[in-house]
Amino acid sequence: MVKSTKIYSCHVPERSFTAGRFQGIADGGIGFGQTGEGRTKHPLYQGSEVDAQGARPLPTINLTYVTNALWAGNFGTFDVNDGTESSWNYDTLTQINFKGFKGLEANNQRALIVHRQIMNPVLAEELGYKELFDEAFPDIPVSERYSRKTVAFAIAAYQRSILTNQAPFQEFLRGNHDAMSEQQKRGAILFFDKAGCVNCHNSPSLNSVPHEFFALGVYDMYQNPRETFRTSKDDRRNLGRAGFTYRDEDMFKFKVPQLYNLKEFGFYFHGASKRSLREVVEYFNNGVTENPNVPKDRISGFFHPLGLSDEEMDDLTEFLANGLYDSNMLRYKPDFVMSGSCFPNNDPLSRIEMSCK
């Protein structure tokens, strides 16, 4: 028996936990294809009704190095959101920051609302999760034990376990110097030296901790030539960190994202304006912005022409694509889910496409 059809995929394990599509569609979408590329709007939904976001989904990998979730760092009471309290009231979703949660726990509770999902004792029982909740949360009173809050905590704990740690560069750092090819080594040297990538990408996951936000002047989601849903020129998310903090100095600045397992994403930057890592490297090398809405004086001083040769760009691309690639991520994919639903997707078309019984 199919107990739940509410399973959707913006974080597909086979795509290194991104959507497989430039803009994820949760509720209001149908189908999956092989790895999420085949998902489309359900014919019975208007475009304005689907659950889609105004920026490309970030991968749910290496989140243990993420203190404040989303491209603008909206969620989480602490860390870089210290001092942003006055903006939490502007948006009902970020009011949760007043409650004292870390980024992932705050994000997940709000995500369950945004993505139209519920949890209650009846559902926990029906889907086969009640006992697991009892085991995981014995100290939480029964009246609150099967709720969005506990679901958020459980998912955050799982998310912190999804780590890339078998990439050639990581093996190299452990002392196995043969793990990287010569080309990957040349690319790494460029990354940490001449190309200046490390000025911004400098944590263990190559995001930045504490989080930093920079304007690179890339296109926003609504400027994508493909059909987009529920975003437009007026989307506050186009303002980057300032869309959340309302601070002038944060205008058009986006969070420095992690750089592992990128080659499976297929779409890069918050507006998904690049289709390949080579295009991303060329963008940084040219040092010329693409989005006319972002004034030049807002752009980071680290973003300027780099003078890399074609061969150097190849080397840097190879370092990103394969030097920073852990090929064994399916170890984090469960073999089944308790509800018996087909996953990542459980709508009738996806079930056929994924050969679920």
Q: Is 303 in the site for ligand HEC (CB under 6 A)?
A: yes
CB of 105 to ligand HEC, least distance (A): 23
Q: Is 166 in the site for ligand HEC (CB under 6 A)?
A: no
Of 66, 51, 21, 15, give the one whose Cα is nearest residue 208: 66
Question: Can you tell me the distance from the alpha carbon of 135 to that of 276, in angstroms, rounded to the nearest whole number?
Answer: 44
Question: Can you tell me the distance from the alpha carbon of 290 to that of 301, in angstroms, rounded to the nearest whole number?
Answer: 16
Which is closer to ligand HEC, CB of 13 or CB of 28? 13
Question: Can you tell me the distance from the alpha carbon of 258 to that of 248, in angstroms, rounded to the nearest whole number?
Answer: 25
CA 273 to chain centre: 15
**Residue 250 and residue 213 in contact, taking contact as beta carbons nearer than 8 Å:** yes
Q: Is 197 in the site for ligand HEC (CB under 6 A)?
A: yes
Q: Which of 183, 199, 203, 291 binds ligand HEC (CB under 6 A)?
A: 199
Question: Can you tell me the distance from the alpha carbon of 102 to that of 172, in angstroms, rounded to the nearest whole number?
Answer: 32
Instruction: Region of 196 please: left (phi>0), alpha (psi -120 to 50) or beta.
Output: left
CB of 320 to ligand HEC, least distance (A): 6
Which is closer to ligand HEC, CB of 49 or CB of 282? 282
Which is closer to ligand HEC, CB of 104 or CB of 281? 281
Which is closer to ligand HEC, CB of 254 or CB of 325? 254
CB of 190 to ligand HEC, least distance (A): 8
**Residue 77 and residue 106 in contact, taking contact as beta carbons nearer than 8 Å:** yes
Q: Which of 111, 162, 216, 329 binds ligand HEC (CB under 6 A)?
A: 216
Q: Is 281 in the site for ligand HEC (CB under 6 A)?
A: yes
Q: Is 269 in the site for ligand HEC (CB under 6 A)?
A: yes
Question: Can you tell me the distance from the alpha carbon of 189 to that of 226, in angstroms, rounded to the nearest whole number?
Answer: 36
Q: Is 300 in the site for ligand HEC (CB under 6 A)?
A: yes
Residues that bind ligand HEC (CB under 6 A): 195-197, 199-201, 214, 216, 218, 254, 256-257, 259, 262, 268-270, 277, 280-281, 284, 300, 302-303, 316, 320
